Amino acid sequence: MALRLTPPTKNIFYLSTLCAIVAFVLYLLGVLGVVGAEIPTLAVAFWVGMLAWGLMTAGVALKGV
């Protein structure tokens, strides 16, 4: 049984892209020191990036199911 990969729907693609952009902005804010140390922006950016990756992976793998 082979896994059939299909392009994700537009909504999943847009939501995943939005999460990736938010993760990138949070990462830049943390690296540049714009946001104080009381907010763990790098950790939040990592998990938002993982959410974006998971959404895109699910959208590709599960569209035809």
Taking the C-alpha atoms of residue 25 and residue 31, their distance in angstroms, rounded to an integer, is 10
pLDDT band at 51 (very low <50, low <70, confident <90, very high): very high
**DSSP class of 7:** P
Q: Which of 2, 4, 15 is nearest to 56 (CA)?
A: 15
Tens digit of each residue's pLDDT (9 = 90 or more) over 7-25 = 888 999 999 999 999 999 9
0.85 exceeded by the pTM? no
- C-alpha dihedral sign at 51, 15, 32, 30: negative
Q: Which of 47, 18, 15, 16 is nearest to 30 (CA)?
A: 47
Sequence ranges of the domains in the chain: 31-65
**CA distance from start to end of the chain:** 14
